[in-house]
Structure 1
Amino acid sequence: MNKINTKKLLLRSFFIIAFLLAVYFIIPVSIPILVAGLTAFFLEPIVMFFKRRWKMSRRMAVTVIYTVSALIIAIVCYFTVTQLMAQIIFISKHSPYYISKLSLMWFNIQNNISQYTENLPHEVSISLQKTITDFIKTMEVSFLDFFNYARVTAFFSKIPSFFIDLLVYMIALFLFMLDLPKIKQLTYQYLKPNTANKLKLISSRLKDAFIGYWKAHLLVSVIIGIVTLIGLLLIQPKYAITLTIIIWLIDIVPFLGSIIILAPWGLYHLLVGNVGIAVKLFILAAILLIIRRVVEPKLMGEHIGLSTLPTLIAMFIGLQLFGVMGLLVGPFVIIFFIALKETGIIKFNFKI
């Protein structure tokens, strides 16, 4: 009997180690496919809604949603890749001019500061001017290092690989969306009824959170669009409506935000000498950033089923650990663990 148990234990250990090794080596090269599967999973409620609301077949509903998703991805790629490439090339060519203009501007500011601080103690005045000089030099070095030839070349060399991954993702997404019910049914065949029910509960919880996330995100984007329109009407009335629409469309895309437009725009006016407009644009960008960081956690918590404080903590920790992607990953990790606790898979029934 002991030999049989030992054999089972060794066999299970072997399969666990083999599974972990497979995960370690396969997952890094399967990111597009895994992301496509997750996307299909989160789009499933929309597919079911189309089927019920307009009496569509699954293939027709999937085709409509996939087409809309492909158009959105194409638009995002155009703005984030094509325009980014053009701007990087432009800035790389004109970086010496911008650096000289920026240095001249800071030199004038330094002269003004020296005039304002002439009544201060000599040591304080010298220290303040040295700090500003060091800051200018650091900024110049950082700017030139970021846009140097090696970095730009490395960025462009990754573009073909990115489009290959994007093509694999799009193909896998369509196939996952079509076959998701079959995949679920096949998965449930290998699970006990109790385990299958728990998995369904966790899936339902994550779907509700995903839909709530987008509701909250769109609501925050509407608020930001209204504030942007009011601000631009006061700053640049001539282009207010057009730029508000552009900023709002970009802000809808997670992790981009209005700062992508307002910061370079303000920097441009700062470089050409329009300090007043630049300051106003930076103030508007700061206001929009504050709105997103203050209002978003509250609305996000209400729509995804978490209170404001855990949502804020999850988003902050996620940002620190995973970058901007962590703003989305953090709350969903908390929801996932809550779902595991609700189904009894993990238990925290202890006292200290």
Structure 2
Amino acid sequence: MLKRFMTKRNITIVSITIITLLFLYFIVPISVPLIVALLFALMIEPIVKLLEQKVNSRKWSVTIIYTSILSLLLLFMYLFLTKLIQHIIQFSKDLPDKMNNLLSAWSVFEERLSKIIPESVSDALFNETQKFLFSIRDAILNYFNVERITNLVASLPETFITLLVFLVALFLFMLEIPNIQTFIQAHTYEKTYNKGLYIWRRISTSIFGMLRAAFILSGITWFFTFIGLLFITPKNALVLSFIICLVDLLPILGATGVTIPWALYAYITGDPTLALKLIVLSVFLLVQRKVLEPKVMGKGVGLSPLPTLIAMFIGLKLMGFVGFFIGPIILIVILIILESGAFNLDFKI
């Protein structure tokens, strides 16, 4: 039985599986900037090829596109991050007053509701709610303490190095993608290479199509949110619209995950006009999302809601917050590999 199993093919499959698992466990967590750079380079490879046909030089094509991306990134960081830092500082200063206003508004609401429901029920409900509100206030205040801000500042050099590694790796990957393809083709049989190419095309169509569609939809959401917030809170429209746009990228939650709680807070603290404006904005964002999503996403991109939710939950438990995004992507890759019969791959050993 053992001799029958110990064939060259089975040993190769087991070895590749073990190496892959060790790689995923030890190398992937510390190689996130490199992996993201490679994926980003693969996403924009069609644009590089298209420009390469125009300028007849891959180096010039890569240089032009990379310079454009870098310029846009630096401009975004300057405009957005400087404003964001100002708003975070102001938010931390205003937070105690906002939470106290919320508690005061809840006390007024408590008095009104106590006249409608039995006193014993209202007392129990209000005590638990007040404890919950106090715990939220204390948790937020503790989060924005001096020690945490100091740690954030201390982590900036490491963040800068990570960003620098990502930018350098992105440029090099953009240049070397044809050589990487040639290397892979030279070390695999034609049948294996064709299967791998089929898998890659399916994965790129599903994952990159899903990511492109998500960014397009979030960009449209940002535009409408920014226009709406110009009429609601002009001073904070830019930063808040970007924050809502980033939240909109989160699966399931969406932009209304910010605007609806904000509307509830405005209503509770005695600003029904602001609450009404935010509800109107929330309804508009929800409708435009439902109308545009099928057209932008298309067919055959991503997963249905139930597998997506399961993959996100398992990814969150296994890999933390990053797994919330990686889980569905891994599931898509596994399904495509199983569908393609990739376990019949053969390598030149």
Task: Give the shorter-chain TM-score range.
Answer: 0.7 to 0.9
Q: 1:187, 1:115 → 2: CA distance?
A: 72
Matches within 5 A, 1:267-282: 275-282=271-278
Shift of 1:97: 3.1
RMSD of the TM alignment (CA)?
Answer: 4.3
Q: 1:246, 1:44 → 2: CA distance?
A: 32
Which residue of the other structure, out of 234, 241, 245, is the alignment partner of 1:251?
A: 245
Shift of 1:138: 1.9
Matches within 5 A, 1:1-352: 20-21=21-22, 23-52=24-53, 54-78=54-78, 81-110=81-110, 114-213=111-210, 216-217=213-214, 220-221=217-218, 224=221, 228=225, 236=232, 239=234, 243=237, 247=241, 251=245, 255=249, 258=255, 275-284=271-280, 286-287=282-283, 290-291=286-287, 294=290, 298-299=294-295, 302-303=298-299, 305-306=300-301, 310-322=303-315, 329-346=326-343
Q: 1:149, 1:105 → 2: CA distance?
A: 29
The 8 Å contact of residues 301 and 311 in structure 1, kept in 2 or not, is answered as no
Q: 2:222, 2:91 → 1: CA distance?
A: 28
Letter matched to residue 341 of structure 1: L
Shift of 1:239: 4.6
Deviations 1:34-88 (A, max 9, x none): 2211211222122112223x24411121112212222343345446644443333
Q: Percent identity?
A: 28
**Relative to structure 1, is the Cα distance of residues 185 and 62 closer, same or farther in structure 2, using a 3 angstrom cutoff?**
same
The 8 Å contact of residues 251 and 258 in structure 1, kept in 2 or not, is answered as yes
Letter matched to residue 35 of structure 1: V
Q: 1:229, 1:88 → 2: CA distance?
A: 19
Shift of 1:204: 1.7
**Relative to structure 1, is the Cα distance of residues 24 and 40 closer, same or farther in structure 2, using a 3 angstrom cutoff?**
same
Deviations 1:86-116 (A, max 9, x none): 3333333343333333333333333xxx234
Q: 1:318, 1:6 → 2: CA distance?
A: 35
The 8 Å contact of residues 250 and 258 in structure 1, kept in 2 or not, is answered as yes
What SS does structure 2 have at the residue aligned with 1:191? coil
Deviations 1:298-328 (A, max 9, x none): 456525x248xx3323433344344675675
Q: 2:327, 2:284 → 1: CA distance?
A: 22
Q: 1:82, 1:318 → 2: CA distance?
A: 36
Give the TM-score normalised by the residue count of structure 2.
0.74
Shift of 1:119: 4.2
Letter matched to residue 310 of structure 2: I
Q: 2:239, 2:148 → 1: CA distance?
A: 32
Q: 2:315, 2:289 → 1: CA distance?
A: 17
Give the TM-score normalised by the residue count of structure 1.
0.74
Instruction: Give the unaligned 5+ runs of structure 2.
Output: 345-349
The 8 Å contact of residues 247 and 257 in structure 2, kept in 1 or not, is answered as no
Shift of 1:9: 10
Q: 1:199, 1:10 → 2: CA distance?
A: 19
What SS does structure 2 have at the residue aligned with 1:174? helix
Q: 1:56, 1:249 → 2: CA distance?
A: 41
Q: 2:107, 2:337 → 1: CA distance?
A: 59
**Relative to structure 1, is the Cα distance of residues 203 and 22 closer, same or farther in structure 2, using a 3 angstrom cutoff?**
closer
Letter matched to residue 190 of structure 1: H
**Relative to structure 1, is the Cα distance of residues 300 and 322 closer, same or farther in structure 2, using a 3 angstrom cutoff?**
farther
The 8 Å contact of residues 114 and 122 in structure 2, kept in 1 or not, is answered as yes
Letter matched to residue 274 of structure 2: A
Q: 2:113, 2:161 → 1: CA distance?
A: 57
**Relative to structure 1, is the Cα distance of residues 146 and 288 closer, same or farther in structure 2, using a 3 angstrom cutoff?**
farther
**Relative to structure 1, is the Cα distance of residues 328 and 314 closer, same or farther in structure 2, using a 3 angstrom cutoff?**
farther
Instruction: Give the unaligned 5+ runs of structure 1.
Output: 348-352
What SS does structure 2 have at the residue aligned with 1:120? coil
The 8 Å contact of residues 33 and 169 in structure 1, kept in 2 or not, is answered as yes
